C-alpha cells in the first residue's frame, strides 16, 4: 500500500478525508505576510523561523445521511508582538487547534454554521492549507499581548502639567435651579 503525499497548497479535501490522510510539516513564518504584519516592527520574523503544523482528514459515517468530511488542524508559531504596556517586542507563542466540517456549498455551510458550535466550510475542489493555517494563527493571537514584567519601567509623560479642577456640570445646573425657584 502506498502512502499518498498531499500538497499543502492544493489539498483535495474529499480525497484527503476519504483516505484518512495525514500531513505535517513546517512553513517559513516570513512567508505568511498577514501574520508577520502583526509583529513588532523591531521583531520581524527571521529567515529560519518556522510555523509547525499537522493536518488530519476524517470521513465520518452518519445514519441516514451523507458521509461527513472533517479536517483536524494543529499549528504553532512564535511571534514578536507589541507589548501593550511598554510597546516593546514580546515573544509570544501562538497555538491553534481546530476541526472543520466540510459541506457541499456555501448556503449549507452558512445554515449549519449558524446553529452549530463546529466550524463549517464549503467544500471546494482544492484547499490551500497554508492560507487556512495563517487564518487560524491570526485568530489565535492574544487580544492584549504583554510581558509578565516589562523589561524597562514605564515612564510618565514629560509634559506633566498640574491637573485643572473643573466645576461639576451638575453643580452648575443646581445653582441655576436654585436661582429660578421663587423664595
Whether residue 103 lies inside any domain: the answer is yes
DSSP string, 104-170: SSHHHHHHHHHT-SSEEEE--S-B-HHHHHHHHHHHHS-SS---SS-SSPPPPPS--PPPPP---HH
Strand 119-122 versus strand 89-103 pairing type:
parallel
pLDDT at position 137, please?
A: 96
- Taking alpha carbons only, the member of 140, 143, 50, 129 closest to residue 95 is 140
pLDDT the model gives residue 183: 60
Work out the average pLDDT over 58-65.
Answer: 82
The 10s digit of each residue's pLDDT in 114-140 is 777 778 888 888 899 999 999 999 999
pLDDT over 50 at 98, yes or no? yes
- pLDDT confidence of residue 52: 96
Judge whether 76 and 51 are in contact, CB under 8 Å: yes
In a domain, 1, yes or no: no
Q: Taking residues 40-67, what's their average pLDDT?
A: 86
pLDDT at 173 over 90: no
Domain membership of residue 65 (yes or no) is yes
Residues 31-43 pLDDT 10s: 999 999 999 988 8
Q: Residue 174: which residues within 8 A CB-CB, separation 6 or more?
A: none
- Let me know if residue 178 belongs to a domain: no
Question: Residue 144 is part of which domain span?
Answer: 13-153
In a domain, 58, yes or no: yes
Q: Which residue has the cell 515612564?
A: 155
Q: Please tell me the predicted confidence (pLDDT) of residue 163.
A: 67
Query: Cα(88)–Cα(73) distance, rounded to whole angstroms?
Result: 31
pTM for this structure? 0.76
21 located within any domain: yes
Specify the 3-state DSSP secondary structure of 101: strand
Q: Contact 101/121 with Cβ under 8 angstroms?
A: yes
How many domains does the structure of the chain reveal? Answer: 1
Residue 178 pLDDT greater than 90, yes or no: no
Does 162 fall in a domain? no
pLDDT at 1: 47
Amino acid at each position: 500500500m502506498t502512502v499518498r503525499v498531499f500538497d499543502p497548497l492544493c489539498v483535495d479535501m474529499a480525497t484527503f478525508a476519504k483516505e484518512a490522510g495525514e500531513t505535517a510539516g513546517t512553513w517559513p513564518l516570513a512567508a505568511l505576510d498577514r501574520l508577520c504584519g502583526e509583529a513588532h516592527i523591531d521583531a520581524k520574523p527571521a529567515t529560519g523561523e518556522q510555523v509547525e503544523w499537522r493536518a488530519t482528514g476524517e470521513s465520518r459515517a452518519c445514519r441516514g445521511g451523507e458521509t461527513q468530511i472533517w479536517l483536524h488542524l494543529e499549528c504553532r508559531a512564535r511571534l514578536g508582538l507589541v507589548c501593550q504596556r511598554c510597546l516593546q517586542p514580546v515573544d509570544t507563542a501562538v497555538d491553534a487547534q481546530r476541526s472543520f466540517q466540510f459541506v457541499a456549498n456555501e448556503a449549507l455551510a452558512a445554515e449549519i454554521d449558524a446553529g452549530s458550535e463546529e466550524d463549517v466550510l464549503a467544500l471546494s475542489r482544492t484547499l490551500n492549507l497554508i492560507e487556512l493555517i495563517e487564518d487560524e494563527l491570526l485568530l489565535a493571537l492574544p487580544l492584549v499581548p504583554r510581558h509578565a514584567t516589562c523589561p524597562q519601567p514605564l515612564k510618565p509623560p514629560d509634559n506633566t502639567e498640574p491637573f485643572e479642577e473643573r466645576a461639576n456640570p451638575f453643580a452648575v445646573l443646581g445653582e441655576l435651579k436654585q436661582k429660578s425657584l421663587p423664595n
